Amino acid sequence: MKQKSSQTTASDIEPGYEALSYVWGNPADTVPIFCSGCEIQVTRNQATALRYFRRTQSMRQIWADAICINQQSLTEKAQQVQQMGRVYTSAVQTLVWLGEESPEVKNALKKLPIWLRSPAPHQDLLPPVMALFARDWWRRKWIIQELVRAK
């Protein structure tokens, strides 16, 4: 998989980018991707998310913390955490990766609007909706900031 990106900080970000909200996944399960001609290792979950959101016919500038923040520098990570709110506020939109599609989650996404409009939710809609909200993404503490600040 080839990605065109570069390591950057929140203060370097050019307008027009999209922020990626995702679960890192198993830190030991990494795969190579190419950013600005350099091979870097990212978690399999992040690579899957980037592959899902990439455009084949045009460029897309996606801000992803594991790539845009130098993960080897504790100082940089500490500084960037302070600016995370601005990253999501300034993004054109936030792309949320809940994980790979499953039949249950696909069903939940299809039925969620019906479930939300129903005065008394249908019991048959409950299992797929629960499967959607059982995804690891909902357990991350950072989603509060990402959701509140996202467009």
User: What is the reported pLDDT for 30?
Assistant: 95
The pair phi, psi for residue 127, each rounded to 5°, is -55, -45
CA gap 97, 22 in Å, rounded: 5
If we measure between CA atoms, which residue out of 10, 14, 9, 8 comes closest to residue 60?
A: 14
Q: Within 10 A of 48 (CB to CB), how many other CB atoms are there?
A: 18
CA gap 91, 149 in Å, rounded: 9
CA gap 97, 135 in Å, rounded: 10
Partners of residue 94 on adjacent β-strands? 19
pLDDT of 138 > 80? The answer is yes
Q: Within 10 A of 43 (CB to CB), how many other CB atoms are there?
A: 19
* Angle in degrees, 0-180, between the axes of helices 126-133 and 103-117, rounded to the nearest 10: 110
Chain segment 3-20, per-residue pLDDT in tens = 444 444 545 566 789 999
pTM, two decimal places = 0.75
Look up residue 63 and give its two tokens. Answer: 């801000």
Average pLDDT over residues 126-140: 83
Q: Within 10 A of 40 (CB to CB), how many other CB atoms are there?
A: 16
Contact partners, residue 37, CB within 8 Å, separation at least 6: none
Percent of the chain with pLDDT over 90: 25
Look up residue 118 and give its two tokens. Answer: 């129903």
User: What is the reported pLDDT for 6?
Assistant: 43
Chain segment 61-115, per-residue pLDDT in tens = 999 988 888 888 888 888 887 888 888 889 999 999 988 888 888 888 887 788 7
Average pLDDT over residues 102-130: 80
